[in-house]
Amino acid sequence: MMDDAMLLNFSIDDGIIKPEQKFRGGTWRDRLSAKKIAQWRSRTQNGDTDQSNPNRIQLSVSRPHKRQKTDGEFKPQVTGGGATTHSRDHDAPVQQQSHSQHRQVISSLFSFNPTPKNADGQTAMDGRPSSEPVKPSNAPLIDESNGFTALGLSSPLATHLLTKMKLKAPTAVQKSSIPQLLKEDCDAFIQAETGSGKTLAYLLPVVQKIMALSMLKVGNDGDDMPSTGETEHAESTVHRDTGLFAIVMAPTRELCKQISVVLENLLHCAHWIVAGTVIGGEKKKSEKARLRKGLNILVATPGRLADHLDNTKVLDVSNVRWLVLDEGDRLMDLGFEEEIQAIVKKLDERQRPSKLAGLPSKRMTILCSATLKMTVQKLGEISLKDAVHVKADPADEENGGNDTFSVPAQLKQSYVVAAAKLRLVTLTALMKRTFARKGSVMKAIIFVSCADSVEFHFEVFTRKGDKESGEDKGRDLGRKGEKPESGTIALATAFSDPSNPVTIHKLHGSLPQHVRTSTLSAFARNHEASVLICTDVASRGLDLPNVNFVIEYDPACNSDDHLHRIGRTARLGRDGRALIFLLPGNEESYVEVLKGSYRDGGKALTCTDVNEILRRGFGGNTDAGGKNWEEKATEWQLEVERWALKDSSHLELARRAFQSHVRAYATHVSSERSMFNIKELHLGHLAKSFALRDRPSKINVPGLRSTKEETKKEFKKERQALSGRKRKASSVATGRNKVDDGGVANSGADAARKMWAKMKGLTGAGEFNIA
């Protein structure tokens, strides 16, 4: 047929159509660059002169935006204002679906965040569950028949408690322990919940018995006879040089200081009894001078007491008849087992019969702890003999002595499940809302996991430019009577209100002892709105007045530390609330652990919505500029990131805080490691909460896999160090003073050894800077 033989000719402008050129060899970056250049040249030849940049690829305006995959389905990413955006994991240019052609740079705070597993649950506003008032479990007893005199205390001591110390009635643990310790000279184990008054429970019987020794005055024939009770006018047989009668040991210096303050107030009714401390942080020469003058009651940390027992001859413990071990579980957790064993052994060996009439023939040991776990039982085996078990609530005896203890009944506790990227803005919004109204909250404590994190957040919350200049900041602190030059107290510009300025204090174990003491004292004396951001150094035993709110920004390494942290509020019957931050995923299982510390099974534990905290903190309604709370939070996050990038010291501070936080996260106890699994952490998202746009590449954490390049560098570094040590040993053996690869001579090696010896003797932060 004719159609089959027809030839059709087509006009082609540039000859035949060439297939797309393929680029081979080199890296993928080189191939991509070559492809872009070829495309640019092709467009230039076709007359498209608008494309002047060979690395630029023109995207169609009608190109659909990327969608976020959530629960197996792709959904568009919608911001608070309703505009669909294309958000990346880091700051990226975004084309808004609007008539404006301007390009914005936004932070990806609200995109690609995991959703909580347990989204349903009881939700409370600001962590305040709406429930009926409950009866405080650690409040003083209100029955008039339960006064201190009815417990067996002397009239002068009971009167002093009422008139000078303003204590009208004892607590439940004081009612149970004081008659027992006064009646029998036997060992005792006191167990009660935090904030129930255990300090006075063991101090009052000890002071009462030492005062009883003072009431014996010497007759004409040299025999001791009881006095008429007017001890202030009679010549006391107890003076500071009579001997040391009691020793109180506590795990931290801060707790020792607090016990010493309570003891000094108690001894105002018996001024002839002298108490003192040896806790370290000062020259041993000063402590030796204090011991040489004479003490009747000594408050000490185990390490420094063991040191003085070995090296200070003037410390005479032959008359010690009362030994108190406060916070026994913490003493064991901090590794003081060997020191306590050595102390108990030396006290037994050096004990001698006393010439002072009325002094017991054997020593009585009192162990105080909130829990009865295995470490405490081991400590009891070391120090106690035929001890009686004293509990605040007699009903607890029927439970067989549980190794856990409950939180105060009046404590209102909640938790918030916040994504890693939202942690910093959520904490800021929470503090903004907390101190929005003057007088609503007086004091708050924020617990973090490590000292570097304390330093970073302190600098973030006090940085200049948020509300005022540095001159205004110093003037406000000067008006409050604080010392801004100390470096641990400043105005919290991030969440201060013009009508309610908030002072922030920082505290961790790497600070010098005098700085730690002055900072803690300033926070306790402050009568205006203030915040203490600290590590676990302030979690045990400290009785800080007017603490209304405790925030656990980083969960504690074990549940016992968590209970001690939240025990800084709701003390002695007062109200208080606490909130803990958790990450979506496995950490949500920690809620069951929190419920286990309640007598009612955790019915009072509530969940606070993270979006509600952000909305209330950054403003729930759209302002005049058209910004909603998501945009305000994003803007605040970008300000912090720019602040960190602007100064290299700030950036290094953020990196150290991130690295120390990840290392501290790896130290959770084995029983809780399934909930706090370091391998489940999204390090890129977590870095954003430390104002970092990229996570640091070098993190020495057990459990995290290193890259091949890092492994090669470490191997090469170890080989160089090994060869350097071999060459150094060879030069020393031959008597030659050669310089090794690092440029350090033998004199430098001696200096290095001296430095390591000095560092080994210092106390403070450990390997991970966790204190």
Helix boundaries (H) for 682-745: 683-688, 708-734
In Å, what is the CA distance from 41 to each residue of 27, 36, 57, 114, 596?
21, 9, 13, 44, 70
* Residue 75, pLDDT score: 46
| For range 737-742, the mean pLDDT | 41
646 domain-assigned:
no
For residues 106 and 98, the answer to whether their CB atoms sit within 8 Å is no
| For range 462-490, the mean pLDDT | 56
378 domain-assigned:
yes
* Residue 128, pLDDT score: 42
* Residue 468, pLDDT score: 45
Q: Examine the domain organization and report whether 184 and 320 are in the same domain.
A: yes
Q: What are the structure tokens assigned to 279, written together? A: 């806790």
Tell me the DSSP string of 420-461: GGGHHHHHHHHHHHHTSSTTT--EEEEE-SSHHHHHHHHHHH
Tell me the DSSP string of 624-657: TTS--HHHHHHHHHHHHHHHHHH-HHHHHHHHHH
Q: What are the structure tokens assigned to 125, written together? A: 């506003």
**Prediction pTM value:** 0.71
Nearest by Cα to 238 from 209, 273, 265:
273
Greater confidence, 57 or 593? Answer: 593
20 domain-assigned:
no
Q: Examine the domain organization and report whether 427 and 361 are in the same domain.
A: no
Q: Examine the domain organization and report whether 387 and 532 are in the same domain.
A: no
For residues 488 and 506, the answer to whether their CB atoms sit within 8 Å is yes
Greater confidence, 725 or 608? Answer: 608
Q: Examine the domain organization and report whether 267 and 293 are in the same domain.
A: yes
Q: Examine the domain organization and report whether 209 and 352 are in the same domain.
A: yes
701 domain-assigned:
no
580 domain-assigned:
yes
* Residue 570, pLDDT score: 81
Domain endpoint, select from 635, 651, 679: 635
Residue 422, domain CATH: 3.40.50.300
| For range 214-242, the mean pLDDT | 56
Sheet holding 246-249, edge to edge: 275-278, 297-300, 246-249, 322-325, 364-369, 188-191, 388-391
* Residue 742, pLDDT score: 42
Chain-centroid distance of CA 698 in Å reads: 24
**SS3 call for 717:** helix
Domain endpoint, select from 576, 601, 635: 635
Q: Examine the domain organization and report whether 447 and 526 are in the same domain.
A: yes
Tens of pLDDT along 619-667? Answer: 855 554 556 889 899 999 999 999 999 999 999 999 999 999 999 999 9
pLDDT for 307 beyond 80: yes
Q: What are the structure tokens assigned to 634, written together? A: 């994003």
SS3 for 32-96 is HHHHHHHHHHHHHHCCCCCCCCCCCCCCCCCCCCCEEEECCEEEECECCCCCECCCCCCCEEECC
* Residue 768, pLDDT score: 43
Task: Report the distance separating Cα 297 and Cα 323, nearest Å.
Answer: 10
Nearest by Cα to 391 from 140, 149, 174, 152:
174
* Residue 726, pLDDT score: 61
83 domain-assigned:
no
* Residue 707, pLDDT score: 53
Q: Examine the domain organization and report whether 507 and 453 are in the same domain.
A: yes
Tally of domains within the chain: 3
Q: Examine the domain organization and report whether 502 and 359 are in the same domain.
A: no
Task: Report the distance separating Cα 199 and Cα 196, nearest Å.
Answer: 9
Q: Examine the domain organization and report whether 459 and 596 are in the same domain.
A: yes
297 domain-assigned:
yes
Task: Report the distance separating Cα 520 and Cα 261, nearest Å.
Answer: 13
Tens of pLDDT along 4-46? Answer: 555 555 454 554 555 667 777 778 888 888 888 888 777 766 6
Q: Examine the domain organization and report whether 380 and 502 are in the same domain.
A: no
Of 71-80, 230-239, 530-539, 591-600, which range is least confident? 71-80
Residue with tokens 């409370």, as numbered in its chain: 124
3 domain-assigned:
no
Tens of pLDDT along 530-557? Answer: 999 999 988 877 878 889 999 999 999 9
Contacts of residue 465, Cβ cutoff 8 Å, sequence gap at least 6: 493, 643
pLDDT for 693 beyond 90: no
Q: Examine the domain organization and report whether 446 and 330 are in the same domain.
A: no
pLDDT for 513 beyond 70: yes
* Residue 474, pLDDT score: 43
Task: Report the distance separating Cα 470 and Cα 477, nearest Å.
Answer: 11
Calculate the average pLDDT of the chain.
77
Q: What are the structure tokens assigned to 311, written together? A: 């090296």
To the nearest 10°, the Cα dihedral for 173, 176, 178, 180?
A: -140
Task: Report the distance separating Cα 430 and Cα 492, nearest Å.
Answer: 14
pLDDT for 741 beyond 50: no
Give the domain range for residue 724: 708-761
Domain endpoint, select from 399, 425, 454: 399
Q: Examine the domain organization and report whether 516 and 582 are in the same domain.
A: yes
Q: How many CB atoms lie within 10 A of CB 626?
A: 8
For residues 198 and 190, the answer to whether their CB atoms sit within 8 Å is yes
Tens of pLDDT along 438-471? Answer: 877 889 999 999 999 999 999 999 998 644 434 4
